[in-house]
Amino acid sequence: MLRLIGILLVVWLVVTVVGAVLEGLFWLAVVGLLLFVVTAVIGWNKRDTRV
């Protein structure tokens, strides 16, 4: 599960960078950033806190 979340974080980061670099795709950067934050929060909540 954490591997999937890690892959999604990388994908959202790439989408955000592409949206920021290409002109006229600012909306893609915003969507990528929002998805990155949501995925990071989900991953943070799903992590195993037991030692």
6-47 residue pLDDT tens: 899 999 999 988 888 887 788 888 998 999 999 999 888 887
CB neighbour list of residue 15: distance below 8 Å, 6 or more residues apart: 28, 29, 31, 32, 35
| Half-sphere exposure of residue 39: CA atoms within 13 angstroms, side-chain side | 19
pLDDT at 47: 76
pLDDT at 51: 58
Structure tokens at 46: 């799903």
